[in-house]
Amino acid sequence: MSNLKYALYTGCTARESTPELLSSTMAVAKKLGIELILLDEASCCGASHLQDFDDFLSLVLNARNICYAEKLGLDMVTICNTCQLNSAMTKERLDSDPELKAKVNEKLAEVGLEYKGTSRVRHFQYALIEDYGLDNLSAKVEKPLSHFNIAPFYGCHNIRPSELHHEVNGGENPYAPTSLDDLIEALEGNSVDYESKNKCCGFHVDLQAPKTSNALSGTALVDAIDNNADLMVTPCPLCQLNMDLKQDSAGKQLGREIDLPVLHLPQMIALALGCSAEEIGLKFNVTKATELI
């Protein structure tokens, strides 16, 4: 395995309410000999909400983030589906529209930056699969996950819109995605097949429409539980937060008891690779998951 090296765009959540996402990502990279350079200059991606308020400003800020990966001469990897969406969408819009790119670069020039479009933008999940390879990952497993039924929850912004992502997500079919199932199998876990795996968790309306959010997250959690899942895993910290934190309110709304640990993807990989409890950070999961170690 030649040295894999990426610029890591952490997003906000991994540096705030889900520190376990960052620590487990770094731990996995260390175990696999992948070098991750933190993009400390980067700002928030706007999470699709700043985009609703001021589309142009959000383009400028996202382009700036990518500039710093370009300056390092590295491809960018993300660890949040929504960061991935907004970074990739910015890249796609600027790369396909020279006029828009010029307008954005006019602003960036004021702070001495230029967006060129030279770095690929991928979610770390797909960089692992594409560049490191599942067979190589399998070979590194120290603690097989064979005693767990694991429900993969893909998260919208890694799989839709498929046209935007298909070159950086292995051409995943949004109606029948397989990459997370493959990852679970590579770690010798049993992947759970259930209808909600590619559905929305409702995170983005949690403030203004909590009923919608609870209905969507609750339905997916219950679906996983009814298909004998012991835990759920997701590459998106926003899905993770919504589904880990709000099990009581979702359960109340659906009239069901919901109690299912929800892990970040790198937490699951770190478990299988035998990383330390500190690195995996299960103490930060709200729905009790510490007994998984």
Partner 1 sequence: MGNKKEITIKAFRFNAETDYLPYYKTYKMEVGRDELILDLLNRVKWEHDGSFSYRRSCRHGICGACAITVNGKATLACKQNAMDLVELFGDELIFEPQSKKRAVKDMIIDKGDFWEKHAAVKPYVVADVDPNPSSESTMSQEQVEQFLDADYCIQCGACHYACPVVEVNEEYFGPAAFAAAYRFSVDPRDNASKDRLEATAEMGPGVWDCVKCFECAEACPKDVNPIEKITKLHNMQFEQGVAKRNVATKHAEGFIRSIKKFGYLDEQDIVLYSEGLGVVKHLSEAFKMIKAGKVHPFDVMKKKMPRSKNLDEIQKLIEISQKNEL
The residues that touch partner 1, with contacts defined as CB under 8 A, are 12-13, 15-19, 40-44, 46-57, 60-61, 64, 107-108, 110-111, 113, 156-157, 160-162, 173-176, 195, 199-200, 202-205, 207-213, 215-216, 245-246, 248-249, 283-286
Kindly state the smallest distance separating residue 137's Cβ from partner 1, in Å: 26
CB proximity list for 173: less than 8 A, separation 6 or greater: 162
Kindly state the smallest distance separating residue 112's Cβ from partner 1, in Å: 8
Kindly state the smallest distance separating residue 136's Cβ from partner 1, in Å: 28
Of 189 and 202, CB closest to partner 1: 202
The tokens for 231 are 């835990």
For residue 121, the Cα-to-chain-centroid distance in whole angstroms is 13
Is the omega angle on the peptide bond into residue 237 within 30 degrees of 0, that is, cis?
no
Q: Where are the alpha helices (DSSP H) in 187-282?
A: 210-226, 237-245, 247-254, 265-272, 277-280
Kindly state the smallest distance separating residue 248's Cβ from partner 1, in Å: 7
Of 93 and 143, CB closest to partner 1: 93
The whole-angstrom separation of Cα 124 and Cα 57 is 26
Kindly state the smallest distance separating residue 163's Cβ from partner 1, in Å: 8
The whole-angstrom separation of Cα 150 and Cα 233 is 7
> 293 and 280 in contact (C-beta within 8 Å)?
yes
Of 137 and 200, CB closest to partner 1: 200
Of 136 and 290, CB closest to partner 1: 290
Of 142 and 226, CB closest to partner 1: 226
